[in-house]
Amino acid sequence: MSELRKSDLAADPLEQFRSWFAEAGSVESRPAEAMALATATAAGAPSVRMVLLKGADERGFVFFTGYASRKAAELDSNPRGGLLFYWAELGRQVRVEGRVERVAGQESDAYFGTRPRGAQLAALASEQSSVLSTRAELDERVAALAREHEGDDLRRPEHWGGYLLTPEEVECWQGRPYRLHDRFRYTRERTGWRLERLYP
């Protein structure tokens, strides 16, 4: 892997992320938008799962999920999260930490309208993270909803929508031989971002 220098990085971490994300999208065999999302209960017990990034702009990072899910319950009681992107072919990671809040209903509605119909039906049918007796129960529920709404445009259910993680720290990691990796951390300050190199 080539050296990553401080001078190679943009002053704004979201600009830097979008550059790396575009490169990952062109070379990675797995979806570049796949990311691990870490949350914790109010007592600090952590949990982590894979989700998909659906937007990255000057506000931060957007993803969508069920509002009755475990991750949503944890974010309700402890509105902080961490993201990890890992792009193996490039030997890169990006870590993001910050506050999380729900996006406006209009934004969730707009994204829901772009989803494939099967994914829309899944969002309507699933009581995410609740106990399910059998797979057949879920399949039958999806089929019943498909029959009920045949020919209709589907509306976003109240129990599903988006979240925005506003970054406070962003780390860009470039793998190097012998575990002598290049790591740079952006930290949000009142006037902008501080960028520092970290020991590997």
Give the residue numbers marked as catalytic: 179
Rounded Cα distance between 160 and 150, Å, is 21
Handedness of CA 7, 10, 16, 20 (dihedral sign): negative
144: three-class secondary structure by DSSP: helix
Q: Which helix (H) or strand (E) holds 187?
A: strand 182-189
Q: Of the candidates 28, 164, 133, which has an alpha carbon nearest to the alpha carbon of residue 89?
A: 28
Q: Of the candidates 179, 183, 177, 180, which has an alpha carbon nearest to the alpha carbon of residue 195?
A: 183
> What distance, in Å, lies between the first and last C-alpha atoms of the chain?
15
Q: Of the candidates 62, 43, 65, which has an alpha carbon nearest to the alpha carbon of residue 54?
A: 62
DSSP for 57-106, written as a single string: ETTEEEEEEETTSHHHHHHHHS-EEEEEEEETTTTEEEEEEEEEEEPPHH
